[in-house]
Amino acid sequence: MSLLFVTGTGTEVGKTAVTAALAALAVRAGRSTAVLKPGQTGVSATEPGDAEEVARLVGASLTTRELARYPEPLAPETAARRSGLPFLTLDQFTHAVGELTERHDITLVEGAGGLLVRYDHQGLTLADMAAAVEAEVLLVATAGLGTLNATTLTAEALRARGLRLAGVVIGCWPAEPDLATRCNLADLPTAAGAPLLGALPAAATATPGVPFADLAAAALAPALGGHWDADAFAAAHRP
């Protein structure tokens, strides 16, 4: 795939780490790679945002671009309105995607929060952006109790809009998974109606002595450029 949207079942679920893992494997495979963050909230003009974090983790040459930034840690529409800064527009977004996809083998788009978070006062969402450029979507989910409902709702929203869900990645797999977490390995694909394509360990962004691309390869399935095996992983954590 040359264009992939990364969204989540909510905020702080591991979208940036998963985006970085995808980018690291693409770069390692020799693919020119771009990462686009349509709207960044919660950081000042001088602080590094999610796109910069991806670049830090990948540690190699890739293109990053951010279209709008708002200082307060709020939903993009609310943050834009309170700051007095311009809303992101769909035309601005599609133009950036067109430029990046023309010049790169793969372009990764990381949303803010979940699929239906609003970016402007008229209700522009990441789902609208994905539909405008006919992109596939990768869903990042949490591992534990409550994730099945959030995953099902997001998957239904994608289907209702005619968007294809490529699969689900667990953004933060705990070192000591509880019963619900281990059971979810079997139940998440059913909830999503799409395959489970990876599980990043909780310390993925801060594991000393492990090259991030190696960690990404071990945590993502072959469909995403790695060698993670869903069946073997589930068997190893069978309740």
CA distance 96 to 99: 5
C-alpha 236: how far from its chain's center? 25
* Per-residue DSSP letter, 220: B
CA distance 142 to 170: 6
* Residue linked to tokens 């068997």: 235
CA distance 188 to 197: 11
The angle subtended at Cα 198 by Cα 114 and Cα 30, nearest 5°, is 100
| Structural contact between residues 18 and 213, judged by C-beta atoms closer than 8 angstroms | no
Catalytic residues: 37
E-assigned strands of the chain? 3-8, 33-41, 63-70, 106-114, 136-141, 165-173, 196-201
